[in-house]
Amino acid sequence: MEEINMCGIIAYTGKTQAVDMLLAGLFHLEYRGYDSSGIAVLGKNKIELRKKKGKVEELKKSILCHPLPKSTIGIGHTRWATHGVPNEINCHPHQIGNITLVHNGIIENYKTLKNSLEKQGYVFVSDTDSEVAAACLDACYKEERHALKAMAKAYQLLEGSFAFAILFEDHKEAIYAMRKHSPLVIGHGEDENFVASDISAFLQFSKKFITLQHEELAEIKKDNVHVYNLELKEIFKEPEISLLDANSVQKNNYDHFMLKEIHEEPQVVMDTIHSIMPNDVSDLSNAFPNLEKFNNIHIVGCGSAMYAGMVAKYMMEQYVRIRCECYCASEYRYQTPTYDENTLAVFISQSGETADTLAALRKVKEYGVKTYAIVNVIGSALSKEADHVIYTQAGKEVSVATTKAYCSQLCILSLMTIHLALLHNKLSSEDLKEIKEELSLLPDYIEKMIDYPYYETLAQQISTHDNVFFIGRGIDYILSLEGSLKLKEISYIHSEAYPAGELKHGTISLIEDKTPVIALVNEERLYEKTMSNIKEVKARGANVLLFVKDMRNISEDVYDECFLLPSLSKFLQGIVSIVPLQMLAYTCAKQRGCEIDQPRNLAKSVTVE
C-alpha cells in the first residue's frame, strides 16, 4: 500500500549517547507526526532497531525497559500515517541488506521498483514505499560497493520526494543523507553533527547549520561534513547561524506549549506590528506593495489560516468596500474562480509548507495572478514561491493548535485592510488617530485577556458536555469559527459555530437544557439582533456564556456567565477578542485531561493533500 507521510527525521553522530540525542530530537519533531516512532543505533557489531506505535514517549519507555546498546551514532523517525496503519512494521527505520534508513516523503514509483526488486530476490515486510527505497539503495550498493556512488545511482531511480538519513552496515563511522523536495538540514556541533527535518530537533545543541538542497548528497562524520552533487563533486557550503531561540522549543515553566504560546501573544503582536510599520501606520506601502492596483482580492488558506483570511474578507468588504473572497485552499486548487490583471491572491500559512495552500499558489501563478504570502516560517516553500512575502513574527510555534501565529496573521491582515482603507479614502482622521493609539496598546489588552482569573469557572460550564455551540454575527461569527475549531481540536468536544440568526433554521433543535452556547458580541450595529438570538437559545434551556464588549442594557437573565471584552477599533477588535476563546479552549482541554499540544490524529504541518 502506498505510504504518504509527513514525518520527522533525525540523525546523530558525535560524543554523546546517540539514543539520548535522537530521543531529544524526536520529541521536538513530533509536530510533524506522532503515531509511531523508531530509532536505530550502530552497536559494536550490528545496527539495532527499536520501533514503537504511539508517541515518542512510548519509544522512550520501551528503551528505558530494554536499553539499546551504547552508541554514538544513530538515526530516528517520527511518523504521521495517512495510508497504511501506524504499526511497528510500517514504522521507520527500515532495514534491508546493508541499508538502514529513515525517510520523509513519497516514492511515487515504488510499485514498479518493488516488482523489479522482488525479482532480484528482495522480500518486503511492510506496506511502505520507504522499505522499497532501502532495498533500491541496497541493490545500488551491491553494484557500486561505494556508499555515495550507490546513493547517486538510487537518486536517479527514485521518483517523488524524499529526505533520507542512512546508515550503511559497512560504514560504521558515518551517516549519509540526501534529499529531493522534503526538507533536510545538517547541524554542526563541537565533535558532533546532526541531520534533521528541521533545526528545532538539535537547536538546544547547535545553532550552526547548512541546508541540503535537491540533488545533493552528504556524508556526515562526528568531526566533518562533506556535501556532493550527483557527479560526486564536492560542494562547499558556508554554515548559517539560526536566529531561533532555543527557549522557543522549550516549555519553560508552562504546563503546555499552547499556554506558553498564548502568553507570548503580546510580544508577538508587538513584533509583527513593528516589522510591518517601522514608523507610522499612515504609510504601509513597503509592506504591501502595489496594493492600489488590485480590486479583486482572493485570500486562501487552510484551517485557522483560512479563518484569519475570513476576518480580512469581512473587513475589506465591510470597511473598504473592495471585492474580496476567502477560499479554503483544498477547494480553491480545484476551482476556477475569475481572475484578471487586477486580482491579487493572498496565501496565508503558519508553516508555509501546507500542501493544499502551496498547490493553490502554484495554480494561480500559472494564470499570471500576482501573489502575496503571509507566512511564519522563514524560507518555507510558500515564502519562496510567492511574488511578495510578509512574515508574521510569531517565532517557533510548537503546539499543534495554532494560537500566536493566528493572532499575528490577524495583525498583518488588519494592517493590510487599514492600508487599503487609506488608499481608498475610507478612513477618517479620527479613525486613524484611534487606530494609532490602540496599536500600541494591543499587547496590554491581550495581556489582560490572558490574565483573567476565572477561565476555570467558565470552562467548567463546558468541559463535561459533548456538544457546544458558538454563535455570533458578522465578525463575531468568523471569530467564533476559530474559537470553535480551537475547542474541538484540543478538547474533543463537538463544537459548531453558527451565524446567530441562522440557528433557528434547523440547528436550534439541538439546544436542550444546559447545552453550552458561547455567544460573542462585538458587532455594535448588530448588537440588538444578536441579543434576541441569545434570548432564543436561552428560552430553550441553553447555558449561555456571553463574551461582550458593552454590558449596557443587558439583563442578567440572558446569560449564565459573562466575560467583558475591551472596546477597540473595528480593525483591531478581533486580535484581542479571540484570546479569551483560546484560553477557554485550553482550560476545557486541561480539565478533560487531553493531550493539548498533540491532539490525536493531527500534525503541525500538513504537507500531504
Give the shortest CB-485-to-ligand F6R separation in angstroms. Answer: 6
Among 138, 219, 264, 489, binds ligand F6R (CB under 6 A): 489
Which residue, 248 or 354, is less far from ligand F6R as judged by CB? 354
Task: Decide if 81 contacts 90 (C-beta within 8 A).
Answer: yes
Q: Does 495 bind ligand F6R (CB under 6 A)?
A: no
Give the shortest CB-401-to-ligand F6R separation in angstroms. Answer: 4
Choose the stretch contacting ligand F6R; rule: CB under 6 A; options: 185-193, 298-306, 441-449, 556-564: 298-306
Q: Which of 53, 207, 260, 604 is catalytic?
A: 604
Q: Does 272 bind ligand F6R (CB under 6 A)?
A: no
Specify the length of the chain in residues.
609
Query: Can you tell me the distance from the alpha carbon of 375 to that of 131, in angstroms, rounded to the nearest whole number?
Result: 34
Q: Does 182 bind ligand F6R (CB under 6 A)?
A: no
Q: Does 349 bind ligand F6R (CB under 6 A)?
A: yes
Pairing verdict, β 516-521 and 561-564 = unpaired
Is 114 noted as a catalytic residue in this protein?
no
Which residue, 42 or 312, is less far from ligand F6R as judged by CB? 312
Instruction: Tell me 196's DSSP state.
Output: E
Kindly list the strands in the beta sheet with 185-188, ordered across the sheet, starting from the edge strand earlier in the chain: 47-53, 36-42, 73-79, 8-13, 193-196, 185-188, 208-211, 240-241
Among 98, 126, 242, 354, binds ligand F6R (CB under 6 A): 354
Beta bridge partner(s), residue 389 = 373
E strand segments, 376-490? 388-391, 467-472
Q: Does 68 bind ligand F6R (CB under 6 A)?
A: no
E strand segments, 110-224? 160-168, 175-180, 185-188, 193-196, 208-211, 216-220
Residue type, 102: V
Window 77 to 106, contacts with ligand F6R (CB under 6 A): none
Give the shortest CB-304-to-ligand F6R separation in angstroms. Answer: 3
Q: Does 598 bind ligand F6R (CB under 6 A)?
A: no
Which residue, 100 or 330, is less far from ligand F6R as judged by CB? 330
Backbone Cα Rg of the chain: 26
Which residue, 122 or 586, is less far from ligand F6R as judged by CB? 586
Cell numbers found for residue 269: 503582536
Q: Does 357 bind ligand F6R (CB under 6 A)?
A: yes
Query: Can you tell me the distance from the alpha carbon of 139 to that of 123, in angstroms, rounded to the nearest whole number?
Result: 13
Which residue, 90 or 392, is less far from ligand F6R as judged by CB? 392
Window 375 to 434, contacts with ligand F6R (CB under 6 A): 401-402
Among 7, 446, 537, 606, binds ligand F6R (CB under 6 A): 606
Q: How would DSSP label each residue in 480-494?
A: HHHHHHHHHHHH--E
Which residue, 589 or 606, is less far from ligand F6R as judged by CB? 606
Query: Can you tell me the distance from the alpha carbon of 281 to that of 372, in angstroms, rounded to the nearest whole number?
Result: 20
Query: Can you tell me the distance from the alpha carbon of 134 to that of 114, in angstroms, rounded to the nearest whole number?
Result: 11
What is the crossing angle of helices 129-144 and 110-119, to 10°?
A: 50
Which residue, 396 or 549, is less far from ligand F6R as judged by CB? 396
| Distant-in-sequence, close-in-space partners of 153: CB < 8 Å, separation ≥ 6 | 140, 143, 144
Give the C-alpha distances (Å, rounded to integers) separating 243 from 11, 167, 532: 22, 30, 51
Give the shortest CB-308-to-ligand F6R separation in angstroms. Answer: 8
What is the crossing angle of helices 475-491 and 573-591, to 10°?
A: 20
Among 350, 408, 463, 573, binds ligand F6R (CB under 6 A): 350
Q: Does 303 bind ligand F6R (CB under 6 A)?
A: yes
Is 222 noted as a catalytic residue in this protein?
no
Number of residues that bind ligand F6R (CB under 6 A): 15
Query: Can you tell me the distance from the alpha carbon of 271 to that of 277, in angstroms, rounded to the nearest whole number?
Result: 10
Task: Decide if 174 contacts 219 (C-beta within 8 A).
Answer: yes
Q: Does 13 bind ligand F6R (CB under 6 A)?
A: no
Which residue, 407 or 517, is less far from ligand F6R as judged by CB? 407
Which residue, 305 or 316, is less far from ligand F6R as judged by CB? 305
Which residue, 180 or 488, is less far from ligand F6R as judged by CB? 488
Q: Which of 7, 91, 324, 588 is catalytic?
A: 7
Give the shortest CB-299-to-ligand F6R separation in angstroms. Answer: 13
Give the shortest CB-300-to-ligand F6R separation in angstroms. Answer: 10
Query: Can you tell me the distance from the alpha carbon of 376 to that of 379, in angstroms, rounded to the nearest whole number?
Result: 9
Give the shortest CB-350-to-ligand F6R separation in angstroms. Answer: 3
Task: Decide if 165 contacts 102 (C-beta within 8 A).
Answer: yes
Give the shortest CB-347-to-ligand F6R separation in angstroms. Answer: 9
Give the shortest CB-380-to-ligand F6R separation in angstroms. Answer: 9
Torsion of CA 315, 348, 81, 482, to 10 degrees: -20
Give the shortest CB-344-to-ligand F6R separation in angstroms. Answer: 19
- Residue facing ligand F6R at closest CB distance: 303
Cell 484540543 belongs to residue:
490
| Distant-in-sequence, close-in-space partners of 430: CB < 8 Å, separation ≥ 6 | none
Give the shortest CB-489-to-ligand F6R separation in angstroms. Answer: 6
Choose the stretch contacting ligand F6R; rule: CB under 6 A; options: 54-62, 299-307, 316-324, 467-475: 299-307
Q: How would DSSP label each residue in 541-590?
A: T-EEEEEES--TT--GGG-SEEEEPPP--TTTHHHHHHHHHHHHHHHHHH
Q: Does 351 bind ligand F6R (CB under 6 A)?
A: yes
Cell numbers found for residue 542: 441553553
Nearest to 466 by CA among 587, 592, 581, 582: 592
Which residue, 521 or 594, is less far from ligand F6R as judged by CB? 594
Report the 10 Å Cβ neighbour count for 119: 8
Write each residue from 448 to 487 as x if it is in contact with ligand F6R (CB under 6 A), else as -, in one continuous string: -------------------------------------x--
Q: Does 305 bind ligand F6R (CB under 6 A)?
A: yes
Among 98, 533, 605, 607, binds ligand F6R (CB under 6 A): 605
Residues of this chain that interact with ligand F6R (CB under 6 A) are 302-305, 349-351, 354, 357, 401-402, 485, 489, 605-606
Residues recognised as catalytic: 7, 604
